[in-house]
Amino acid sequence: MNEALLRELVPAVIGVLVRRGADFAAAEDAVQEALIRALESWPEDPPRDPKGWLIAAAWHKFLDATRSESSRRDRERVVEAEPPSGPAAASDDSLWLYFLCAHPSLSPGSAVALTLRAVGGLTTRQIATAYLVPEATMAQRISRAKRQITGQPLDRPGDLGTVLRVLYLVFNEGYGGDVDLAAEAVRLTRQLAASTPEPEVAGLLALMLLHHARRASRTGPGGRLVPLAEQDRSRWDTTMIAEGVAILQAALARDRLGEYQAQAAVAALHADAPSTAETDWVQIVEWYDELLRITGSPVVRLNRAVAVGEADGPRAGLAELGQVDPGVPRYAAVQAYLLERAGELDRAAELYVEAAQAATSVPERDHLTREAARVRRLPR
C-alpha cells in the first residue's frame, strides 16, 4: 500500500466531487470512506488507475449518502447522473481546492485549518500541534468551518493571502513534522506562480526553494537538529538556491514588496554567505526592518534582535530583545544565545533549560538540552 500516493490523490478527488455537485463536508466524508475501502482492497488487488478508482468509489459513497436522506432529494437531480467511465483526467484539482478552502465566508484561521486537513492531508492532531491548541479544540474548529462552507456558493475565489499562508504552513509542517509535504507545497506554489503575476507568490516560491535547498544539512543522525551556523554548506543545493535567487530578483524588480519577498531576501543572504561569520548581518537587519514595517510581527522583532546581536554585538541584541514580549515562542532560547555570547554563562544555561522545556518538538527540545549541557561545561 502506497500511503504517499493516497495522500497525494485525496485533494484532487475531493475537488472532483465538489465540482460535480457535492458540498465540501459530504465530499470529504465520501473520500474518507473510499480511502477505507482502498486500504482494505488495494494491497491484494491494486487498481491500474488509482485516482479513477478513488473518484468512482467516493462518488458512489456520496450518491448512496445523498439518496438515503430525504431532506436532500432535491439535490438528487444534480447528482443522479453517473460520471463517465474510463481513466481519470490528469488535471490536478489540488490547487483549485486550496482556493475553495480559502472561501470568503471563512476566517483566515478557519481557512488555514480546513485546508491543512482537506488538501494538506494533515491529521487534526498535527494541525492542533502547529496551532499550539488541544486536539479537541482544533477538531471543533474544523467541523465549524466545514459546516460554514456547506451550502455556500463556491464560485467566488478565496483570498490569495490566505492561500499563501496555507501553502507556507504546509511547507513548514512537511519540513519539520512527521508528514513530508514540503515538496508538494513547492509544487503547488510553483503552479500558482505560473498562473499569476503577483510578486508575493513568486516571493513565497523563492523562500521555499531557498529553505528547501538546505534540507539535507538541517538534520543529523537520528533526526538531530543542526542549527544554521553548524550546517555543512557544501551539502546545500546550489542549483535550487540559484533558482530561488533569480525568482526573488524578478519579484523585487516589480517594486511591490511583501512579507514573503522580504523573508526570501533574508534567506538569500544566508544562502550566499560562506559562513555565519561572513554573513551580511547589517543587510539582514535592514530586511528585518522592512518585515517589521510590513507585518509588525513580534516573531520578526525577535529574529531581528538575533540579527542585531550578530551585526552590533550581543549587548545590542539584548537591548533589542528588551522590546520583545517575553511570551513570544523561542524568546528564552534567543535570550540564552545572546547571554552566552555576552559571557553570562550560568544564566544562559538556565535559559537553555527553560527553552527546552517549552519546545514544541522533540528535535528542538533535545537540541536546547544539549546546548544547556555544553554551556555548563564551558570554563568560567
Say whether both 55 and 39 belong to one domain.
yes
Say whether both 13 and 115 belong to one domain.
yes
Say whether both 15 and 65 belong to one domain.
yes
Structural domain includes residue 170: no
The three cell numbers locating residue 176: 519539520
Q: pLDDT tens digits for 175-184? A: 545 556 788 7
Q: What is the domain count for the chain? A: 3
Give the per-residue pLDDT at 86.
44
Say whether both 294 and 376 belong to one domain.
no
- Domain final residue, candidates 303, 328, 353: 328
Give the per-residue pLDDT at 76.
45
Give the per-residue pLDDT at 18.
84
Give the per-residue pLDDT at 19.
82
| Nearest C-alpha neighbor of 34 from the set 15, 18, 50 | 50
Question: What is the rounded CA–CA span in Å between residue 98 and residue 100?
Answer: 5
Give the per-residue pLDDT at 264.
98
- Domain final residue, candidates 286, 311, 328: 328
Q: pLDDT tens digits for 143-166? A: 999 888 877 665 666 788 888 988
- Domain final residue, candidates 135, 164, 193: 164
Structural domain includes residue 50: yes
Say whether both 323 and 339 belong to one domain.
no
Q: What is the pTM of this model?
A: 0.77
Q: Give, in order, the Cα–Cα distances in Å from 306 to each of 46, 158, 214, 341, 358.
A: 53, 36, 20, 11, 19
Structural domain includes residue 117: yes
Give the per-residue pLDDT at 365.
96
| Nearest C-alpha neighbor of 174 from the set 103, 119, 229 | 119
Question: What is the rounded CA–CA span in Å between residue 146 and residue 114?
Answer: 7
Give the per-residue pLDDT at 187.
85
Say whether both 30 and 44 belong to one domain.
yes
Structural domain includes residue 354: yes
Say whether both 322 and 377 belong to one domain.
no
Structural domain includes residue 212: no
Say whether both 322 and 372 belong to one domain.
no
Structural domain includes residue 182: no
| Nearest C-alpha neighbor of 199 from the set 285, 264, 294 | 264
Say whether both 143 and 277 belong to one domain.
no
Walking along the chain (380 residues) 10 residues at a time, the average pLDDT comes out as 71 86 86 86 87 93 78 48 46 69 83 82 77 88 87 69 87 62 84 90 98 94 92 97 98 97 98 95 98 96 98 98 95 98 97 95 94 95
Say whether both 337 and 320 belong to one domain.
no
Say whether both 296 and 356 belong to one domain.
no
Say whether both 31 and 130 belong to one domain.
yes
Structural domain includes residue 280: yes
Residue 342, domain extent: 332-380
Structural domain includes residue 374: yes
Give the per-residue pLDDT at 155.
61
The three cell numbers locating residue 35: 480511502
Cα-Cα-Cα-Cα torsion 66, 71, 73, 78, nearest 10 degrees, comes to: -60
CA geometry: angle 318, 323, 324, nearest 5 deg: 90
